[in-house]
Amino acid sequence: MTEIESLSEADAANELMRLAKQIAHHNKLYHAEDSPEISDADYDALVRRNNAIEEAFSHLIRADSPNRLVGAAVEASPLAKVAHAVRMMSLDNAFSAEDVEEFAARVRRFLNLGADAVVAMTAEDKIDGLSCSLRYEKGKLIQAATRGDGSVGEDVTANVRHIADIPQELRGDAPDVFEIRGEVYMAKADFTALNARLLAEAEDPEKARQFANPRNAAAGSLRQKDASVTASRPLRFLAHGWGEVSALPADTQYAVMKAIEGWGVPVSPLLKRADSVAALLAHYAEIERRRAEMDYDIDGVVYKIDRLDWQQRLGFVAKAPRWAIAHKFPAERAQTTLEAIDIQVGRTGKLTPVGRLTPVTVGGVVVSNVTLHNRDEIGRLGVRPGDRVVIQRAGDVIPQVVENLTRDDDRAPYIFPDHCPVCGSEAVAEEGEVDVRCTGGLICNAQKFERLRHFVSRGALDIEGLGEKSIAEFLELGWLDKGPADIFRLKKHRADLLGREGWKEKSVDNLFAAIEAKRAPDAARLLFGLGIRHVGAVTARDLLKGLGDIRRLPEKAAEIQAYLEANPQGEGESEGKFVARKMDAIKAILEVRADGIGPAVAEALTDFFHEPHNRDLWNDLLSEVSPPLYVVETRTSEVSGMTVVFTGKLETMSRDEAKAQAEALGAKAAGSVSAKTDLVVAGPGAGSKLKQASALGIKVIDEADWAKIVAAAV
């Protein structure tokens, strides 16, 4: 990772764009879909990197900066949307005692307080649950909503009425309007019992619904369209604050929380008021010590300035209050034995090593499997079956190996496989990459579904009526065992297909007609459909512009391999000169001039055609289809001879289709803006490329204007 001091402005802008997309993606998985794919620690690392770059390049802060967003937008939810009267904010994080001390110092500086002024704060455990806001009017519960993106959440009123901890009516003399905010959660014991019940009730135990952790169970149980499902799940609630209120019962955080407790709403039994950072940290240490014994998951301690008038003066930054911070716990750890290393092959061919462990409890969860990520990670840890390892639940979600306690034992190292365990094809890692991938492609059962789905997709052969469901069905029946050529032989199964659910005579005939219409497919679409790594839709066209005949590819791949084997890097030859020489040779063999054709594409082609079963698949496919010679027909237009860049979101066509249009008009479609760019076509959300074009004085048009240019071409 590049040090921030070494980043150029362009690099910083690009990384901020990448981080904004990454963090938004993980926010959606965590908050909207309850299915995180990275640990809290990894997520926090992304946020810290983003914050550091924004601090160094404040003029580059984006409109979609993670620091301006809370949670995730409510999108395809069966529940009604609810606008929050007062935004539900997030919290900034502290990871050390020094961070907490700096937080207290910032408060002092902001409020201009002397060193001897007492800054009292509350401290309470941070529950790992689902944020929820309860609106009471005249003491009666009238609405409950999830946080959503902080401004708009989901209406879960009917569901929370089944949570025993949440009173339908507050005790005592509550204000006319009072929104109580807190966390809906599931106790560890209840979580274990729920998973056991779901398993017992399932007709097929292997397909039983099982929740990964109590947080997911709570979120999935609360966000139900059918409130009776929520009623059957043991959910609980703890309050930690408030939203819109008509009046406050006290002038300190601690006293208001005690008033909420007095109205019959549970608050944390660990809530405490402290007059110094030392006292806060002592309470943090005590909560951390008791963490494993607690019947609900927590991931830190939250500190809040006690005086409400000081909270009001401190106010908020983009998505978090200045008067509160979450002091996160380090991940919990335990020791166990690595019993075996299994290799799983994903749908894209990636070989992922999975460690099988002697089951061990970490943070209240039994862990028996752990991802080892890739070949390099195994080498870094030096792990082998039989090693004693330290396991950590990073962010209390994803288990990982953090230390090998027996790496110095005199035993042979683990040898990562160089062939796919599923199909036996070679498994290789491309230069500069850590992932090892199976080269079997369409003949590998682990990849077959995804590869066939891609083969018939809109950008490839575009066979209407042959969707994911049909492909899965035909694979299960054994009708597509030989790969894509079998698609063109499906007609022999017509009688069997007519007898299956959902297949009537008209739908069957329509499917076969759509398949027959692709007997002479566009050669570039056919090549793209094979799913050869690095050969996308544009690269496929570039390759065939030179070759013309797709049937020449195997011999050209063999020529490239022979050249590379006979012409290694010469003694004294610089890396730059060697790469340039190699690229020139590859382009000469492939008879192409496009910039996108280089060593990576050449290596992917040679890897593919080097495998005998891929050559068999290729020949089998060409026995069923007859792609015509690839001829690029260009039309005369006002952009002929120009270099065009597309940026932003295109609304009427894909990026590949836009580039194909540009080429058909005699223009070159480039991926980046430079002084050589003649025209930029910008859609909604265009960012750095649009700014570059403006700075260079390059003409910019929108998608509608581009459509007029295409229509006017002759």
Q: What sign for the dihedral angle of Cα 369, 373, 374, 379?
A: negative
Of 511, 396, 425, nearest in space to 464 by CA: 511
Residue 196's CB is within 10 A of a number of other CB atoms, namely 11
> Where on the phi/psi map is residue 659: left (φ > 0), alpha (ψ -120 to 50), or beta?
alpha
Contact between residue 459 and residue 654 where contact means Cβ atoms under 8 Å apart: yes
Give the count of alpha carbons within 13 A of 674, CB side only.
7
Q: How many whole angstroms separate alpha carbon 549 and alpha carbon 532?
A: 17
- The 3-state secondary structure of 322-364 reads CCEEEEECCCEEEEEEEEEEEEEECCCCEEEEEEEEEEEEECC
One DSSP character per residue, 655-713 reads HHHHHHHHHHTT-EEESS--TT--EEEE-TT--HHHHHHHHHT-EEE-HHHHHHHHHH-
Q: How many whole angstroms separate alpha carbon 658 and alpha carbon 538?
A: 10
Say if residue 406 is exposed, middle or buried (CB neighbours under 10 Å; 0-12, 13-18, 19+). Answer: middle
Q: Amino acid identity, residue 672? A: S
One DSSP character per residue, 33-96 reads SS--SS-HHHHHHHHHHHHHHHHHTGGG--TT-GGG--S----S-SSPEEE-SS------EE-S
The β-bridge partners of 132 are 146, 182
| Per annotation, catalytic residue among 21, 28, 126, 304 | 126
> Where on the phi/psi map is residue 483: left (φ > 0), alpha (ψ -120 to 50), or beta?
left
The β-bridge partners of 116 are none
Helix (DSSP H) and strand (DSSP E) numbers for the chain: 24, 22
Q: How many whole angstroms separate alpha carbon 361 and alpha carbon 612?
A: 47
Contacts of 605 (CB under 8 A, 6+ apart): 532, 535, 553, 556, 557, 560
Contacts of 341 (CB under 8 A, 6+ apart): 353, 354, 355, 356, 372, 378, 383, 384, 385, 414
Residue 492's CB is within 10 A of a number of other CB atoms, namely 10
The β-bridge partners of 357 are 338
Contact between residue 341 and residue 389 where contact means Cβ atoms under 8 Å apart: no
Q: How many whole angstroms separate alpha carbon 162 and alpha carbon 236?
A: 10
Return the percent helix, strand and coil in the chain, to nearest 5: 40, 20, 40
One DSSP character per residue, 383-416 reads --TT-EEEEEEETTTEEEEEEETTTTSS-PPP--
Q: How many whole angstroms separate alpha carbon 505 and alpha carbon 69?
A: 52
Q: Amino acid identity, residue 704? A: A
* Residues shown for the chain: 714
Contact between residue 34 and residue 146 where contact means Cβ atoms under 8 Å apart: no
Is 668 one of the annotated active-site residues of the chain? Answer: no
Of 241, 307, 293, 235, nearest in space to 268 by CA: 241
In the 8-state DSSP scheme, what is residue 545?
H
Give the count of alpha carbons within 13 A of 216, CB side only.
17
Give the count of alpha carbons within 13 A of 410, CB side only.
0
Contacts of 689 (CB under 8 A, 6+ apart): 645, 647, 672, 673, 680, 682
Task: Scan for tokens 């908050």, then name that residue.
Answer: 31
Catalytic positions: 126
